[in-house]
Amino acid sequence: MGTVAVVGVGLIGGSIGMALRARGLAKEVVGVGRDLASLEVARERGAIDRATTDLARGVAEADVVVVCTPVGRVAEDVRRAADSAPPEALVTDAGSTKRAIVEAVEKSPRAAGMFVAAHPLAGSERSGAAFARADLYRDRVCVLTPTTRTPPGRLRRARTFWSGLGCRIVEMGPAEHDEVVAFTSHLPHALAAALAGAVPADWHPLAAGAFRDCTRVAGADTELWTAIFRENRGPLMNAVGKLQDRLAALKYALMNDDEEAIRRWWSDARSRRASFEAQQPPSV
């Protein structure tokens, strides 16, 4: 690849830039952002070669544009990037939700013809290029969500781009993606925050490893997660409902002191957890 433009150079965009440069995959990485100080952090960390706050200029010579802004802004940034990038460029993104983004992008025929939606499944409760890491995406899944309007050539290039960063590629429709990540990512974030919020600070001295690990991602950025929850509110409401049903089943078993029901409730979860563990790549 020649020039890659990374729009939004925080933890996600910064890690992509670092991986591109560490692996020698791009001739030049251009960082596009709104805040010069953040762009300077990204440059110092080696995530980008040069920086600009002008999106149109930043993407003007790009072979690939990766939009890594918060989900509420991705579609608009993709459309603006498509308007200013060379017509043969690939535009992709890294947003945690896909259906609304894809629908909005596909209202612009030019953008639709250049875009392949993506969601690399890695992140952190921390924000900003200061926490970026070149290996953030190594051995992680990247979901691509092509539609009937996605040009096959762009899809092939998107597979090459994301697997070049170390990702394993999984493909599915945008709506299906959103239903699944509502359970596998957004629900754990909601539970982390629900638990963190339910325990008074006075009681923290009696909290240990289970609480610490279960609440870790509640430290993530408020604006980022408000936007993700809103974008995926339908599937997330469904996932929260399913979780409430499971808690209600536990409460009912406790109310009846039903030993066998409590045992089954736990051991069903335990065997699911064991099958998840068994599937993890060794590096995780």
Binders in 59-98 for a second copy, by CB under 8 A: none
**The one-letter amino acid at 249:** A
**The one-letter amino acid at 35:** D
Residue with tokens 């939009």: 67
Grouping H, G, I as helix, E, B as strand and the rest as coil, residue 55 is: helix
Q: Does 103 bind a second copy (CB under 8 A)?
A: no
Pick the binder of a second copy from 24, 109, 152, 247 (CB under 8 A).
247
CB of 266 to a second copy, least distance (A): 5
CB of 18 to a second copy, least distance (A): 18
CA–CA distance, 117 with 111 (Å, rounded to integer): 11
CB of 40 to a second copy, least distance (A): 26
Pick 44 or 223: Cβ nearer a second copy:
223
- The DSSP annotation for 132-191 comes to --TTTTTT-EEEE---TTS-HHHHHHHHHHHHHTTPEEEE--HHHHHHHHIIIIIHHHHH
Sign, CA dihedral 73-66-228-237, equals positive
Pick 129 or 253: Cβ nearer a second copy:
253
In this chain, which stretch among 5-13, 76-84, 152-160, 176-184 interacts with a second copy, using CB under 8 A?
176-184
CA–CA distance, 242 with 227 (Å, rounded to integer): 22
Grouping H, G, I as helix, E, B as strand and the rest as coil, residue 119 is: strand
Size of the site for a second copy (CB under 8 A): 87
CA–CA distance, 104 with 248 (Å, rounded to integer): 38
Residues 179-238 that bind a second copy (CB under 8 A): 180-181, 183-185, 187-199, 201, 203-220, 222-223, 225-226, 229-230, 233, 236-237
CB of 260 to a second copy, least distance (A): 9
CB of 167 to a second copy, least distance (A): 12
Residues 115-174 that bind a second copy (CB under 8 A): 121-124, 140-141, 143, 170
Tokens standing for 181? Answer: 């990540």
CA–CA distance, 3 with 17 (Å, rounded to integer): 11
CB of 79 to a second copy, least distance (A): 23
Pick 56 or 199: Cβ nearer a second copy:
199
Residues 13-52 that bind a second copy (CB under 8 A): none
Q: Does 53 bind a second copy (CB under 8 A)?
A: no
Q: Does 105 bind a second copy (CB under 8 A)?
A: no
CA–CA distance, 170 with 186 (Å, rounded to integer): 19
CB of 144 to a second copy, least distance (A): 12
